[in-house]
Amino acid sequence: MSDLVKIENIKKYYLAYKIGILDRLAGRKPVYVRAVDDVSLEIREGEVMGLIGESGSGKTTLGKLLVTLETPDSGKFYFMGKEVNNSTLNFVRNNVAMVFQNPYSSLNPRLSVREIISEPLGHVDDKKVAEAMELVGLNYREHARKRPRELSGGQVQRVAVARAIVKNAKFIVLDEPTSALDASLQAQVLNLLLDLKSKLGLTYLFITHNMAVAYYVADRVAIMYAGKIVEYGEKESVFRKPAHPYTQSLMASIPKMSEKDLKPPSGEVPSLINPPPGCRFNPRCPFAMDICSKKEPPLIDYEGRKVACWLYNK
């Protein structure tokens, strides 16, 4: 399988607050939020890559970078083997789409379903709309003229998915597509997404904070912590034998119907403005060593996955 998407050492920093002219005269330095800091990842054609992380870990920013909604500050981004820059931007945008977390706020409430779905086409094309709606399990005659508020949460999310597939995009970033849905609807939408993927040959980046959902849909998973990918690889090896201490404590924090005790890590996610030196997990890590607070661990190969931890880097 070839790499559909490949990023190398990508960085995205945001200004933490505006620097006015007076601040500049006073000699104040701009302060940055390091949302995505030096991340490398490749996504193979036809796979589902699960991106797991807590809020504020930069997973949505990474997703936005991959659909060119944000431009990286540095680093390289290849899509289908081509480097992404101004001349290839249109080509990339024709082939990527994104589905957002809250469908009620990502769809225009004043447009009808058929207008929403045809938005990426630039004109209303009822034939394509009907095809896309059928693929996501919506009835064209019943729903095409309704507005988002007249539909239930599961149906609105289906409309958002229909909008993503109407232009035959190859790569779709799904940003927590089911976290706003009830348990019974969640299973429906997840199954729909998996069916669509095999039917249309899509590639997904599936962003979620729910490990069980990631395990269900993904082929490979990447774990993000404080703007960095700390571990990624085949889901079986990452889930069955997590290597990074953060992944391990994340696993011990998920409620499961087989284990009554949760063992979360102590403390909180660090601020991205001023992350701890060295490994970003070191203040909360039970295995922290001297080197962890001094030098940042590189991503290395370890038992079928890549992991950034000094424990495995001898």
Partner 1 sequence: MLLKIRDLNVGYKTIFGKLNVLSDISLDIDRNEIVGIVGESGSGKSTLGHAITRLLPPSAIVSGSVNIDGVNMLSLSENAITKYRGTTVFMILQNPFTSLNPVKTVGYQLLEAARIRMERDGESWNEDRGYDASINALKDLRFPDPEVIMRKYPHQLSGGQIQRVVLAMALILKPKVLIADEPTSALDVTIQAQVVNLFKDLNRELNTAILFITHDISLAYVISTRLVVLYAGRIMEDGEVDSVVKEPMHPYTQKLIAGVPDMSKFTTPDVRLESIPGQPPSFMNLPSGCKFNPRCPFVKDICKSQEPQLIKTDSRRMVRCWLYE
**Binding piece for partner 1, criterion CB under 8 A, among 83-91, 123-131, 135-143, 210-218:** 210-218
Applying CB under 8 A, the site for partner 1 has a residue count of 41
- Residue from the set 45, 215, 276, 288 that interacts with partner 1 by CB under 8 A: 215
* Least distance from partner 1 to the Cβ atom of residue 133, Å: 18
Question: Please, which residue, 71 or 274, has the CB nearer to partner 1?
Answer: 274
What Cα–Cα distance (Å) separates residue 271 from each residue in 76, 228, 278, 292? 26, 13, 14, 18
Q: What is the dihedral of CA 197, 199, 200, 204, to 10 degrees?
A: 0
- Residue from the set 254, 294, 298, 304 that interacts with partner 1 by CB under 8 A: 254
Reduced to 3 states (helix: H, G, I; strand: E, B; else coil), residue 294 is: coil
Question: What's the half-sphere exposure (Cβ side, CA atoms, 13 Å) at 49?
Answer: 27
Q: How far apart are the first and last CA of the chain?
A: 31
CA distance 234 to 238: 6
- Residue from the set 40, 88, 112, 188 that interacts with partner 1 by CB under 8 A: 188
* Least distance from partner 1 to the Cβ atom of residue 84, Å: 31
H runs (alpha helix) in the chain: 21-25, 59-66, 89-95, 103-106, 113-118, 126-135, 140-143, 153-165, 183-200, 211-217, 235-240, 245-253
Question: Please, which residue, 93 or 209, has the CB nearer to partner 1?
Answer: 209
**Within positions 124 to 153, which residues make up the interface with partner 1, using CB under 8 A?**
152
**Within positions 18 to 57, which residues make up the interface with partner 1, using CB under 8 A?**
54-55
- Encoded amino acid at 48, one letter: V
CA distance 216 to 128: 30
Residues 256-295, one symbol each (x = binds partner 1 by CB under 8 A, - = not), give xxxxx-xxxxxxxx--------------------------
- Residue from the set 40, 102, 210, 313 that interacts with partner 1 by CB under 8 A: 210
Residues in touch with partner 1 (CB under 8 A): 54-55, 152, 182-188, 190-191, 209-213, 215-216, 235-236, 239, 249-250, 252-260, 262-269
